[in-house]
Structure 1
Amino acid sequence: MMFLFINNPYLKLITAIFYIIITFLSGFRVKLLPNILLFTSILIVSLFSPVGLVITNIGPMTITLGALENGLYNSALLIGLLYLSKHISMSNIKFSGTTGILIRDTFHYFNQLTSGDKIKFKGFIEQIDNKLLNLTPYNSDSNTNEVKKTKDNSKIIFVITLSLILLDKLYHNF
């Protein structure tokens, strides 16, 4: 969750790209087109609230630097959190206490909902119902089999994210 403390939109984007690469290197399948569509749509929507220095006008719409940076920040935040949660859901991270059990179970269910067969447009309500009805509770024995298929890069993620946070804080102090 240290990812949330990066304030610079460019560093946030670099961190999100790093999470995508680590997720790929951990053995997960990464699709670029949904990431590009998500990034582009958030960036376009953010342009409708102009903030800061005006870059150009396209018809009645004003493109501003602040709107572009806000869109970059928000899209990198969403994509980075998606990949970070995917990595955490498949890694063998232990959480203690009642809150830890809640977090573990949330990631376990998230992993079940996002893996498996794709949901097709035709009959998508029934497909979603089937996924929800077939959710299984957390079982430490079954979860270890899933974890062994992938590499655990949690320490690398922690160190790189912490380094980028420090770089971000140093950047804002100058």
Structure 2
Amino acid sequence: MKNKKVQPRRRDSLALLLSPSLRFWTGMALIPGFFMIESLKVKVPLVLFFALLAYLAGKKIRFLYFFFLIGSITFFHLLTPVGRILMEIGPIKVTSGALLTGLTKGLSLCGLVFLSLFSVTPDLKLPGKLGGLLARTFYYFEEILNGRKRISPRDFIGSLDLVLLELFPPEGMDDPPQREVIEFRGSRLVSTLYVLLLFISVWGSYFWFTLMS
């Protein structure tokens, strides 16, 4: 079987300006605030903002997949009617409470995925053996996702085996393959602005709507 040409990886533009550890810990600090935001007027712009940052981080955004994810979560919530009935589609009663809950949970899950995509990088180095294991796990996960287009449905086992052999050769399995080294040219000012922008967008929005409600 002939090997398919590997698609070139998009460049992580954020890595030029921000350190991996700053991106990671900032992302972790945003998760509680993002989940506590219940207003769709706030959550939708935040999800789109996170998607933009994930794109700048060199990730491929497949919006059709995320639309399907939000739609499926919302559909299953509609099976349990809650609140005022908006319309009836056959045996399904579309209620305001179920629709709002489904959309909120679907957007929350998508936002969490986008947040992890731009916050976690394979270059992340956490202290200790657990940190090293976690960093390698993130690397292998990203590489498997990057190799999905090389996996052929006609020869699923064989093509998947080739992708895994590239990641886990018989020798040297303990160390991940060498990646392109991106020269870090960030500054304290850029890092501070990045943290402030994200904290104001998430935590600022949460406290503002909490006080206004």
TM-score range with shorter-chain normalisation?
A: 0.7 to 0.9
Instruction: Indicate if the aligned counterparts of 1:28 and 1:150 stay in contact, CA closer than 8 A.
Output: no
1:128-167 aligned at under 5 Å gives the runs 128-136=160-168, 139=175, 142-143=178-179, 145=180, 148=182, 158-163=195-200, 164-167=202-205
% identical aligned pairs: 27
Specify the alignment match of 2:78 in structure 1. 47
1:91-110 aligned at under 5 Å gives the runs 92-110=123-141
Q: Structure 1 residues 56 and 103 mapped into 2: Cα distance closer, same or farther (>3 Å)?
A: same
Specify the alignment match of 1:21 in structure 2. 52
Read off the aligned partner of 2:77 and give its amino acid letter: S
Q: In the TM superposition, what is the alpha-carbon distance from 1:104 to its structure 2 partner?
A: 1.4
Q: Distance in 2 between matches of 1:4 and 1:155?
A: 20
| 156-165 vs 49-58, which moves further | 156-165
Read off the aligned partner of 1:88 and give its amino acid letter: S
**Structure 1-normalised TM-score?**
0.75
- Give 2:153's match in structure 1, choosing from 111, 121, 129: 121
Q: Distance in 1 between matches of 2:73 and 2:47?
A: 15
**Structure 2-normalised TM-score?**
0.63
Read off the aligned partner of 2:154 and give its amino acid letter: K
Q: Distance in 1 between matches of 2:185 and 2:54?
A: 9
Read off the aligned partner of 1:101 and give its amino acid letter: G
Q: In the TM superposition, what is the alpha-carbon distance from 1:109 to its structure 2 partner?
A: 1.5
Instruction: Indicate if the aligned counterparts of 2:78 and 2:94 stay in contact, CA closer than 8 A.
Output: yes
Q: In the TM superposition, what is the alpha-carbon distance from 1:170 to its structure 2 partner?
A: 3.0
Q: Distance in 2 between matches of 1:155 and 1:141?
A: 32
Q: Count how many residue pairs are aligned between Structure 1 and Structure 2.
A: 172
Q: Over alpha carbons, which structure has the higher Rg?
A: 2
Q: In the TM superposition, what is the alpha-carbon distance from 1:77 to its structure 2 partner?
A: 2.3
Q: Structure 1 residues 86 and 138 mapped into 2: Cα distance closer, same or farther (>3 Å)?
A: farther
Structure 1, gaps ≥5 residues long = none
2:83 corresponds to 1:83: no
Instruction: Indicate if the aligned counterparts of 2:122 and 2:139 stay in contact, CA closer than 8 A.
Output: no
Q: In the TM superposition, what is the alpha-carbon distance from 1:156 to its structure 2 partner?
A: 6.6
- Give 2:94's match in structure 1, choosing from 63, 83, 93: 63
Q: Structure 1 residues 41 and 109 mapped into 2: Cα distance closer, same or farther (>3 Å)?
A: same
Read off the aligned partner of 1:78 and give its amino acid letter: L
Q: Structure 1 residues 124 and 159 mapped into 2: Cα distance closer, same or farther (>3 Å)?
A: farther
Q: Structure 1 residues 124 and 53 mapped into 2: Cα distance closer, same or farther (>3 Å)?
A: farther
Q: Distance in 2 between matches of 1:36 and 1:49?
A: 21
3-state SS, counterpart of residue 104 of structure 2: helix
